[in-house]
Structure 1
């Protein structure tokens, strides 16, 4: 699993991404970048394997994101969850589903 502290969005407008990428690194095939936002407004970028998106704990967090932010979020998907908690949820799902951390 790759964890990165969120960098500034926009970066001078030179990013090739639409809708404001978190950073300019490419997302590996089969992963979705998700930003877990803590109470301080700061966020941490997490690359989540696509096959974990239907895992019940992660699906519940995605439902919470839809309720809070709507379905038309610009840029990277955000979840209303403290970054440490989100890491634990994703790590637990990876262990239970047998997904290796690349």
Structure 2
């Protein structure tokens, strides 16, 4: 899980925009980020380190 305060970070927003382009904005339920696990973890690590 990702803390909600990280959702507005530009790197996370970029991942969300990619997902929106793939599945649209009308998706219900959990937010799905369409990238491999390692890319996601590296992005979150960068965001957390920058805080």
5+ residue gaps, structure 2, are none
TM-score, structure 1 length as denominator?
Answer: 0.47
Q: Secondary structure at the match of 2:2?
A: strand
Q: 1:74 and 2:48 equivalent?
A: no
Tell me the TM-score normalised to structure 2 length.
Answer: 0.87
Match of 2:37 in 1: 83
Question: RCO greater where, 1 or 2, for CA within 8 Å and sep 6 or more?
Answer: 2
Deviations 1:47-80 (A, max 9, x none): 1111111111110000111111011213211111
Determine helix, strand or coil for the equivalent of 1:59: helix
Runs of 4+, deviation exceeding 6 Å: none
Larger radius of gyration: 1
- 1:64 corresponds, among 11, 18, 26, to 18
Indicate the structure with greater helix content: 2
Larger fraction in strand? 1
The size of the alignment, in residue pairs, is: 51
Note the residue ranges of structure 1 that are not aligned, 5 or more in a row: 1-46, 98-102
